[in-house]
Amino acid sequence: MCGIVGVLGDHEVAPILVEALKRLEYRGYDSAGIATVNAGRLDRRRAVGKLVNLSDLLVHDPLAGKSGIGHTRWATHGAPSIANAHPHRARRVAVVHNGIIENFRALRDELVAQGAGFESDTDTETVAHLAQVFLDQGLAPREAAERTLERLEGAFALLFLFEGEDDLMIAARKGSPLAVGHGEGEMFVGSDAIALAPLTHRITYLEEGDRAIVTRAGAQFFDDQGRPVNREIRTIEIDATRVEKGGYKHFMAKEIAEQPSVMGDALRHYISESGEIVLPGGGIDFTRVSRLTMVACGTAYLACMTAKYWIEQLAGLPVDVDIASEFRYREPPIPEGTLAVFVSQSGETADTLAALRYCADKAQRIVSVVNVPESSIARESDLALPILAGAEISVASTKGFTCQLAVLALVALEAARQRGTLDAPTLARHIEDLRSMPGRLNAALATEPRTEAIARLLSEATDVLFLGRGAMYPLALEGALKLKEISYIHAEGYASGELKHGPIALVDNTVPVIVLAPHDRLFDKTVSNMQEVMARGGKVLLVTDARGAAEAGEGVWQCLAMPEVPELFAPILYALPAQMLAYHTAVAKGTDVDQPRNLAKSVTVE
């Protein structure tokens, strides 16, 4: 949450900062701002709301300078306002920050007592005032920044810019990601490599506790004890076309449509031509694993819940699935033989990272399933399994989810192979079925016009229920999550069999009930639950296949027929109607689909 960027350039820097912030807007869009040093003079511009407001402001009130920092905000301390927008500044220093300074109240009291005048409600402003105190004591910018950092508790990626210093930025990382980009006589800093992609592909990631002293001549890196350290420069290839809308109205629409192709990429990466599963880095020895603990947040958590059905059923391994923010403070015992698996699209989610570190401290082997291969979670894992979905920009995860499912399905099949719980022909059939998924996803996408028509009706509702049984239960939760996060319609997902234990009280003829029910071995059971809804006047949208529609489609409010899919992998395919329903409902309601209110894509605070 919050994106930060810095440039020591050889051109006017304001437009470059704004372009880079555009690529970070997925991290927050409550306000945006930039600061520059021009002929030694520090100045800033800030605007509330989306980045476009800052761009407009800069047209009327430009900001000159070839050195600058910028920020796009997801509010934690203090409402979205100009005063609370970054960069924050004291007299001779400006800072941008991603994270939370946990001891800011004590620091603020101390600084106010020394006469500092605060303008904002933020934790970040303390950092600027603290640095100013050290500058006033006669310390050089580098020492002032160092002394400031020593006083800070919490999590941060910070970037300092100083009055009178046209050729200096100081970056620091503790808990929040930060990357330094190397150009030709220019240097860059950003929250991620995507922000810097058009500027340079040569990236150094700061390690935990690192500081970087950046000038146009290059960057020097120091660890948290101030010792000089070498940090590798990597060449990061980011496909720029995956960060553009490519003719679609929204990134979400593009990312939904991309699913057959990116899943094809992921499957080709993990399945050899002869049909064997190949996990990188020596894979996982499942003969030594007796249980799995899977930890994640949001949609990634629901991918883990789905994988639990697969891994338990196919490989006979018990699986615990945990929400990262709960796991990290519960201090759960990790018995011998546990494999800890962390799933995260961004690879930067603060709670998931903290849960990973908890397990790493217990000498666990860490496996992660991530989309961003250079992310903190990937880099701190013993084995990172990339999902290869390409940049996902829309805040609501779509292709990230289905590619997570595809990789987790492969993990389940590989576990089953090693443990001998599936015979060779059955295993080969499942792998072939998985390989057929991109084609089936294409067929599911072809139902979009019908989904759109139903979504227009759904957009009238104020409450919606999703039901699913077995591995369709996590998908019911995902369908409800998607719908609520982008259309703001209240939605809940339930296990079909649980309906009569409470939620059925909500059913009346104003509450659409979306039943996710492929014609599988649990179909009759789910249909019974659906009948219970209809008997109480509920309006059912049955999402099923041709057989399901023929058997149970009569009398329902709406029926949406999906292509046939092997039972095991139905959750992957049925994710698409759930996504399309949410998308078109949000479009019908006119909400901001890609950047829904109050949310951010990369949640780097607790």
Near ligand G6P in 116-145, by CB under 6 A = none
CA distances in angstroms from 560 to 82, 92, 453, 484, listed in the order given: 47, 62, 11, 20
349 binds ligand G6P, rule: CB under 6 A: yes
Mask for 176-215, x = binds ligand G6P (CB under 6 A): ----------------------------------------
List binders of ligand G6P among 296-325 (CB under 6 A): 297-300
Would you call 22 a catalytic residue per the annotation? Answer: no
**How near is the Cβ of 501 to ligand G6P at its closest, in Å?**
27
Tokens found for residue 322: 């945990």
As a whole number of angstroms, the distance between CA 594 and CA 591 comes to 9
Min dist CB 289 to ligand G6P, Å, is 23
Q: How many residues bind ligand G6P (CB under 6 A)?
A: 15
Which residue stretch of 175-183, 413-421, 541-549, 595-603 sits at the interface with ligand G6P (rule: CB under 6 A)? 595-603
Q: Which of 24, 601, 605, 606 binds ligand G6P (CB under 6 A)?
A: 601
- CB 595, min distance to ligand G6P, A: 10
**Could you tell me the smallest distance in angstroms from the CB atom of residue 351 to ligand G6P?**
8
Q: Which residues contact 223 (CB under 8 A, 6 or more apart)?
A: 207, 209, 210, 229
For residues 479 and 538, which CB has a smaller minimum distance to ligand G6P in the complex? 479
Nearer to ligand G6P, 260 or 298 (CB): 298
Compute the least distance from the CB of residue 257 to ligand G6P, in Å: 18
Query: In 10 A of CB 337, how many CB atoms?
Result: 11
Give CA–CA dist 70/105, Å, rounded: 25
For the bound state, the minimum distance from the C-beta of residue 297 to ligand G6P, rounded and expressed in Å, comes to 4
Nearer to ligand G6P, 397 or 529 (CB): 397
Which residues, 242 to 261, sit near ligand G6P by CB under 6 A? none
- Candidate list 111, 116, 161, 395; residue touching ligand G6P; CB under 6 A: 395
CA distance 518 to 400: 22
Q: Which residue has the tokens 């309601």?
A: 589
Among 386, 599, 604, 605, binds ligand G6P (CB under 6 A): 599
State residue 217 phi and psi, 5-degree precision: -80, -15
- Other beta carbons less than 10 A from residue 171's beta carbon: 25
Nearest distance in Å: CB 418, ligand G6P: 27
Q: Which two tokens stand for residue 511?
A: 């509450």
For residue 579, what is the DSSP state? H
Structure tokens belonging to residue 547: 């057989």
397 binds ligand G6P (CB under 6 A): yes
> Binding string to ligand G6P for residues 258 to 297, with x set by CB under 6 A, is what?
---------------------------------------x
Q: Say which residue the tokens 């999402």 belong to.
A: 543
Query: How far is the C-alpha of 351 from the C-alpha of 605, rounded, in Å?
Result: 8
Spatial contact of 169 and 6, defined as CB atoms under 8 Å apart: yes
Kindly tell me which residue out of 180, 603, 604, 606 binds ligand G6P, with binding defined by CB under 6 A. 603
CB of 580 to ligand G6P, least distance (A): 17
Site residues for ligand G6P, 496-555, by CB under 6 A, read none
Q: Are 294 and 415 in contact (CB under 8 A)?
A: no
How far, in Å, CA of 85 to CA of 3, rounded?
A: 12
- Which residue lies nearest ligand G6P, judged by its C-beta? 298
Residues 605, 577: Cα–Cα separation, whole Å? 31
Contact 227, 200 (CB under 8 A): no
CB 295 → ligand G6P: shortest distance, Å?
A: 10
Least separation in angstroms between residue 276's CB and ligand G6P is 28
Contact letters for ligand G6P, residues 350-379 (x by CB under 6 A): --x---------------------------
Answer for the pair 517, 543: CB distance below 8 angstroms, yes or no.
Answer: yes
What sign for the dihedral angle of Cα 202, 395, 584, 304?
Answer: positive
Q: Cβ closer to ligand G6P: 271 or 350?
A: 350
The answer to whether residue 345 forms part of the interface with ligand G6P (CB under 6 A) is yes
Stretch that binds ligand G6P, among 137-145, 242-250, 338-346, 472-480 (CB under 6 A): 338-346
- Of 11-19, 224-232, 393-401, 570-578, the window that binds ligand G6P (rule: CB under 6 A) is 393-401
Taking 3-state DSSP, the helix, strand and coil percentages for the chain, each rounded to the nearest 5, stand at: 40, 25, 35
Task: Verify whether residue 50 is a known catalytic residue.
Answer: no
97: closest CA among 68, 127, 129, 118? 127
| CA 296 – CA 321 distance, rounded (Å) | 8
- Taking the least distance from each CB to ligand G6P, the nearer of 204 and 299 is 299
End-to-end CA distance of the chain: 10
Strand order in the sheet with 463-468: 490-495, 463-468, 512-516, 539-545, 558-562
Contact stretch for ligand G6P (CB under 6 A) within 468-476, 532-540, 586-594, 598-606: 598-606
Judged by CB under 6 A, does residue 346 bind ligand G6P? yes
Q: Coil, helix or strand for 368? A: strand
Q: Which of 2, 297, 304, 403 is catalytic?
A: 2
- Of the candidates 399, 482, 539, 601, the residue annotated as catalytic is 601
| Residues whose CB falls within 8 Å of the CB of residue 137, separated by 6 or more in sequence, listed in order | none
Nearer to ligand G6P, 31 or 579 (CB): 579
Give 26 or 134: the residue with its C-beta nearer to ligand G6P. Answer: 26
Q: Which residue has the tokens 């990312």?
A: 255
Cα 103 from Cα 96, distance rounded (Å): 17
Residues assigned a catalytic role: 2, 601
Instruction: List interacting residues with ligand G6P (CB under 6 A).
Output: 297-300, 344-346, 349, 352, 395-397, 599, 601, 603
